[in-house]
């Protein structure tokens, strides 16, 4: 059987919000289904990005993010090609912002992004009083469920913790949201929409970590990668997701959802 | 002065008749309605020693306090939990005598990182100890770099204090330029392996550093005996302590070094301070031991990945088959509302433990159970809703020792619970 290759982009610079849990979740589920995998990373200064089936990019501190911004631009054409091939990308917070057109920071600096996602992110202006911090609950968008073949028998929701100043807005109708914000902020403080999906890319502000508490998304991601390799999809066995289910439901119960 | 006299009297009466026991109230009153008294109050502090950093502040402050008091010095120390400006002001007001004097020789201030630069506007510390800077409560501070900036700002505006720091910590090396009086501690490669588990991405500045203290070895013989061997000014020293935890060993050395800097003249003094320190008991919840019937509970506060990893490393040698480990994860403001940090902890260490059962509780028990289930194989994870049920389980299984790793508010509540089992009321 072919291996599922995971490339953890900038694993050393973009790693302060527990996002490594997403990698652990992918490996956990791959392991559960005896699917062989290979994991490697791409760091600042590396000549090229090693080809993979699933790419992951987490969030980092401002200073680290600026270094990553610059470095990532060198790999723009390779990444664009991979996106065209429907490769899977999971982007959290800063990683999500980096795939957009630009980021305008609090000091007014214009930071160019990869421009693969038609989104713009700006530091909060005076209409927004504080950072978006707290638990977040999102009801999944049916279009996204369909595109990623999400098994909603686990849940119709995704849960996590957000912590961002940046306000993200879509600039193109071809992008879809991951869902409607039931609790928390999401992309920005106005629209009550969270995340973004374009081709194989999932961008989100959810830490927590995101995937461990949302295994239906983990399955969606893995199945998409398997599909790209013409391998049959794997099916969720909910009896093996007891801890996941409890952690997921804790947040839903806390806000009296379902 | 008149206002201060009135405030002191009002606070005295309120406390005497137990109308309020709030420790923040007097400070709040001053900050809000009599801001001109803030410098007046802070100026009462003599020979200020500031302890800041993300982990270990309380242990270092308590240990300095212990050595100084046992050397005949009277100290003003802000209680743990009152490490912001308001709490310090309250503590000063409460301790004023009838003539509005604050009788003491040294002020030991444990400062939350963001409070440090605020304080130095009013008062210049003589000595600053920076324990470390680890990733800590990002929902409150946003970033590690910000924490670093607060501390740097505090030192730079402190009128060239003596700074004690850990030179093995690459991030802290950047503070060298902030003061021209730096006393540094460094550790051997062997010790380093267990202490600095966070990776750093910036290259350390190329500085020619000769550490003043070099820690050769930290040997945990058993739960009550840890031997630290180190060198200071070409002289070898040993410190034997009952305090558990490799990280606490470094904290004790910081405390010793502070006292040596303030009071030490010769090797005899230095050794005497070490003897005193040898009898120091841990600050509450930080290695504190509580015995109930045949079980010993050891409370080891954890608040971030570095603390968790160091505590787990410290336990790996000493935990035995009839011991249990209990994780309690809360997400109140004082714990950090974001529990993502547990994914940055190295729970793989637990696989090396001899014990078979992992107990889990707290507001976010399901998150910590999930996290541990990913890493720990072949051990049973038991999830509990409340302390009574855990306690019943522990008493029934007759564990010899239970190592409790709680977050801050969980530590306060579990400590209160355990003392209540001994018939002791704890208000902390």
Instruction: Measure B342 CA to nearest chain A CA, in Å.
Output: 7
Domain ranges in chain A are 4-254
Q: Quick check: helix, strand or coil at residue A50? A: coil
User: Where does the pLDDT of residue A62 fall: very low under 50, low under 70, confident under 90, or very high at 90 and above?
Assistant: confident
pLDDT by residue (tens digit) across B4-58? 777 787 777 777 766 665 667 788 888 888 889 999 999 999 999 999 998 899 9
pLDDT given at position A10: 94
| Rounded mean pLDDT, B319-326 | 95
What average pLDDT does this structure show over A205-232?
96
Q: How many CB pairs under 8 A join A and B?
A: 80
For the entire predicted model, the pTM comes to: 0.91
Which of A16, A24, A135 lies nearest to residue B374, judging by beta carbons?
Answer: A24
- Report pLDDT for B201: 43
pLDDT category, A130, cuts 50, 70, 90?
A: confident
State whether residue A20 sits within 8 Å of chain B by CB.
Answer: yes
CA–CA distance, B319 with B325 (Å, rounded to integer): 9
Find the mean pLDDT for residues B125-144.
79
**Helix/strand/coil percent split, chain A, to 5:** 30, 25, 45
Residues of chain A neighbouring B376 (CB-CB closer than 8 A): none
**Nearest C-alpha of chain B: how many angstroms from A18?**
5
Note if A207 is an active site residue: yes
CATH number of A4-254: 3.40.50.880
Task: Dump the DSSP string for B273-307.
Answer: HHHHHHTPPPPTTEEEEEEETTEEEEEE---SHHH
Q: Which of B135, B201, B343 sits opposite A21 (nearest CB)?
A: B343
Q: How high is the ipTM of this complex? A: 0.96
User: For B192-218, what is each residue's pLDDT tens digit?
Assistant: 776 654 554 444 455 567 789 999 999
Instruction: Judge: B143–A62 Cβ closer than 8 Å, yes or no.
Output: yes
Strand order in the sheet with A196-198: A37-42, A4-9, A54-57, A88-92, A201-204, A196-198
Q: Evaluate whether the domain defined by B2-278 bears CATH number 3.40.1190.10.
A: yes
Nearest Cα of chain A lies from the Cα of B135 at a distance, in angstroms, of: 7
What tokens appear for B205 in the block? 């500045």
Integer Cα distance of A44 and A91 in angstroms? 17
- Given the residues A8, A164, A207, A216, the one annotated as active site: A207
Report whether pLDDT(A121) > 80. Answer: yes
User: What pLDDT sits at residue A258?
Assistant: 77
Give the per-residue pLDDT at B204. 47
Using the beta-carbon criterion (under 8 Å), do B142 and A24 form an inter-chain contact?
Answer: no
**B23-37: pLDDT as tens digits:** 677 888 888 888 899
What is the model's pLDDT at position B211? 85
Helix/strand/coil for A65:
helix
Task: Name the average pLDDT for chain B.
Answer: 88
CA B161 – CA B56 distance, rounded (Å): 21
pLDDT 10s digits, B385-396: 999 999 999 999
Q: B90, B189 in Cβ contact below 8 A?
A: no
For domain B287-421, the question of CATH label 3.40.1190.20 is answered with no
Percentage of residues in chain A having pLDDT higher than 70: 98
The reply to whether residue B364 touches residue A250, judged by beta carbons under 8 angstroms, is yes
Domain ranges of chain B: 2-278, 287-421
Taking phi over 0 as left and psi of -120 to 50 as alpha, with beta for the rest, A238 belongs to alpha
């Amino acid at each position: 059987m072919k291996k599922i290759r995971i490339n953890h982009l900038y694993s050393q610079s973009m790693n302060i919000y527990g996002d490594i849990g997403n990698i652990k979740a992918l490996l956990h589920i791959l392991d559960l289904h005896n699917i062989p995998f290979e994991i490697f990373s791409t760091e600042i200064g590396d000549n090229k990005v090693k080809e993979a089936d699933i790419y992951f990019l987490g969030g980092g501190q401002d200073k680290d993010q600026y270094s990553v911004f610059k470095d990532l631009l060198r790999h723009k054409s390779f990444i664009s090609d991979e996106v065209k091939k429907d490769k899977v990308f999971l982007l959290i917070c800063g990683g999500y912002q980096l795939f957009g057109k630009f980021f305008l920071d609090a000091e007014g600096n214009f930071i160019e992004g990869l421009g693969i996602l038609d989104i713009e992110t700006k530091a909060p202006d005076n209409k927004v009083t504080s950072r978006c911090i707290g638990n977040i609950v999102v009801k999944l968008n049916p279009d996204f469920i369909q595109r990623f073949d999400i098994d909603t028998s686990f849940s119709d929701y995704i849960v996590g913790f957000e912590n961002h100043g940046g306000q993200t807005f879509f600039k193109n109708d071809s992008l879809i949201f991951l869902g409607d914000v039931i609790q928390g902020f999401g992309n920005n403080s106005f629209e009550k929409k969270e995340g973004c999906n374009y081709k194989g890319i999932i961008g989100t502000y959810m830490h927590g970590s995101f995937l461990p508490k949302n295994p239906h998304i983990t399955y969606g991601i893995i199945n998409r990668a398997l599909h790209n390799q013409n391998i049959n999809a794997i099916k969720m066995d909910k009896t093996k997701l007891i801890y996941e289910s409890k952690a997921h439901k804790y947040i839903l119960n806390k806000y009296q959802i379902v | 002065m008149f206002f201060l006299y009135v405030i002191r009297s009002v606070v005295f009466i309120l406390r005497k008749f137990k109308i309020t026991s709030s420790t923040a109230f007097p400070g709040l009153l001053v900050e809000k309605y009599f801001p001109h008294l803030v410098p007046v109050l802070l100026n009462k502090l003599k020979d200020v020693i500031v302890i800041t950093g993300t982990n270990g502040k309380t242990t270092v402050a308590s240990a300095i306090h212990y050595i100084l008091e046992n050397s005949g010095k009277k100290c003003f120390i802000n209680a743990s939990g009152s490490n912001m400006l308001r709490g310090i002001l309250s503590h000063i007001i409460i301790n004023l005598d009838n003539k509005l004097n604050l009788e003491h020789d040294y002020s030991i201030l444990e400062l939350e990182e963001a409070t440090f630069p605020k304080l130095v506007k009013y008062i210049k510390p003589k000595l600053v100890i920076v324990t470390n800077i680890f990733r800590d409560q990002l929902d409150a501070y946003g970033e590690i770099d910000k924490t670093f900036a607060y501390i740097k700002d505090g030192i730079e505006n402190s009128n060239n204090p003596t700074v004690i720091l850990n030179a093995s910590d690459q991030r802290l090396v950047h503070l060298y330029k902030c003061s021209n009086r730096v006393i540094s501690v460094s550790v051997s490669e062997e010790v380093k392996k267990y202490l600095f588990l966070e990776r750093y991405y910036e290259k350390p500045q190329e500085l020619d550093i000769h550490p003043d203290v070099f820690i050769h070895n930290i040997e945990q013989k058993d739960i009550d005996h840890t031997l630290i061997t180190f060198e200071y000014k070409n002289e070898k020293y040993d410190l034997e302590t009952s305090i558990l935890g490799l990280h606490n060993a470094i904290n004790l050395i910081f405390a010793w070094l502070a006292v040596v800097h303030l009071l030490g003249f010769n090797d005899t003094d230095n050794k005497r301070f070490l003897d005193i320190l040898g009898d120091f008991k841990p600050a509450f919840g930080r290695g504190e031991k509580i015995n109930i019937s045949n079980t010993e509970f050891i409370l080891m506060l954890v608040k971030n990945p570095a603390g968790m990893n160091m505590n787990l490393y410290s336990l790996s040698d000493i935990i035995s088959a009839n011991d249990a480990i209990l994780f309690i994860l809360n997400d109140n403001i004082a714990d950090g509302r974001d529990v993502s940090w547990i994914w940055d902890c190295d729970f793989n260490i637990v696989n090396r433990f001899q014990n078979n059962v992992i107990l889990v509780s707290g507001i976010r028990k399901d998150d910590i159970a999930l996290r541990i289930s990913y890493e720990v194989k072949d051990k049973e994870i038991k999830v509990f809703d409340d302390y009574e049920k855990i306690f019943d389980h522990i008493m029934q299984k007759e564990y010899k020792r239970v190592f409790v790793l709680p977050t801050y508010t969980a530590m306060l509540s579990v400590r209160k619970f355990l003392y209540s089992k001994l018939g002791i009321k704890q208000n902390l």
